[in-house]
Amino acid sequence: MITNCYTARSAAPYHAAVRIIALLLVLAMTAGAALAQPASKRDNRQRGMQQEERERMRQDMRDVYRDRRERPERGRQMTPQERDKLRRDIENANRELRRR
């Protein structure tokens, strides 16, 4: 029968050490996550600030929609001649830009 150095000793102490190390590792990981949580007092203040910010945003949006309704309608539509002139002017400006 052939034996190697690992079978000569009992495996029980090795497994116990590995279990302890694994337990310490799990505790360290969970403790880090628990300590990363905000304190309850700070949490309440942060929520209050968030509610104030939300209310401020709602008010800003109401103002925007109110201003939008008060704004006059779009100008009149361009005639075909005006559109052609605008198109020609833009094409000429683009040609001049390419020359530079």
- Nearest to 57, CA basis, from 65, 71, 46: 65
- Nearest to 78, CA basis, from 69, 91, 87: 87
Examine the domain organization and report whether 48 and 63 are in the same domain.
yes
In a domain, 80, yes or no: no
pLDDT of residue 9: 60
pLDDT of residue 10: 63
Which residue, chain included where needed, has tokens 């029968």?
A: 1
pLDDT of residue 72: 65
Q: Give the separation between CA 15 and CA 21, rounded to whole angstroms.
A: 10
In a domain, 26, yes or no: yes
Domain span including residue 62: 40-70
Q: pTM surpassing 0.75? A: no
pLDDT of residue 24: 93
Q: Give the separation between CA 87 and CA 94, rounded to whole angstroms.
A: 11
pLDDT of residue 25: 92
pLDDT of residue 21: 93
Q: How many domains does the chain have?
A: 2
Q: Which two tokens stand for residue 73?
A: 């309608």
Q: Give the separation between CA 46 and CA 43, rounded to whole angstroms.
A: 5
In a domain, 75, yes or no: no
Which residues in the chain come in under a pLDDT of 50? none
In a domain, 76, yes or no: no
Helix (H) or strand (E) holding 83: helix 80-99
